[in-house]
Amino acid sequence: MSSMSFTSLPDNDLIALFERECKQNGLGAVDAMLCLELMRRAFVQKISEVFEAVERYYGKLFLYWVWSDPAFRGPADRWGNNLAADILQEAYANIMRALRKFADPAAFYAKFDSICRKFLGFVRKCIHSAVQDMRRSDHRADADARPDATDSNGDAPQPPRTIISLDDIPDAIGVAPNDHEARFDETLAYIQSILNKGQWPLFYCALVLDMRPREIANKYPELGTTARDITVALYAIRKLLKNDPGLGNRRD
């Protein structure tokens, strides 16, 4: 279905269709335009029921991006146990502010025509910025506690706030696609079609979530109980993809 086909669905029908696709095929196999329409209604139209569905299915991924951000410090230090969730809420607010000018569905889809590379990349950028902002606030608290940490006016220095730019969208899945985004999405779909049900989750964890073998084994033991098991399985996947003639024909 096209994006415009999904925009005509009532909210409840859209959520039901998305959840049915997730249960039948897994989140990674859901139609990209269906995922994007869900995101549009959650973050642009701010429809609470749709936003709750996004949180149910993408919330763990978004939280993982907070925890795995290099600037994030976990609950062992004074940032506290609930900080990751607080940062994610700040990122959500940043996303909604940045998307206000895309109220028209056509404008939204003109900007975000790819769920993996573009929209999720934008979300990850917002999460990273929210982590950095929290880090700066933490540093400022340290500076405020020092009597000598003032500027020429006698005030504590103000750290610059990270600015979210829709034109500065990183690659969310950790590869360097060429400029032909349609071909990139087609290639990703082809990769999913040639991997079996056990290989695709590994590929997704390693490439989309940027997880290390030990992380995958600890979080998803059904994919492999040790880091070595995961490494061997990923090697087999890389070898399969390297030797696949269909992928060879897709290289520019």
User: 176, exposed or middle or buried, with CB in 10 Å at 0-12, 13-18, 19+?
Assistant: exposed
CA distance 15 to 232: 38
- Mean pLDDT, rounded, of the chain: 75
Residues 247-252, mean pLDDT to the nearest whole number: 50
**In which residue are the tokens 């809420």 written?**
89
pLDDT tens-place string over residues 40-99: 999 999 999 999 999 999 988 888 888 877 777 554 344 444 678 888 999 999 999 999
pTM over 0.85, yes/no: no
> What pLDDT was estimated at residue 181?
42
Which H or E run contains 56?
helix 48-68
> What pLDDT was estimated at residue 96?
93
User: 123, exposed or middle or buried, with CB in 10 Å at 0-12, 13-18, 19+?
Assistant: buried
pLDDT tens-place string over residues 106-141: 999 988 887 867 898 899 889 988 888 887 765 444
> What pLDDT was estimated at residue 252?
38
Residues 172-188, mean pLDDT to the nearest whole number: 45
Q: In whole angstroms, how far apart are CA 235 and each of 104, 178, 201, 239?
A: 44, 24, 14, 6
Taking 50 as the threshold, does the pLDDT of residue 102 lie above it?
A: yes
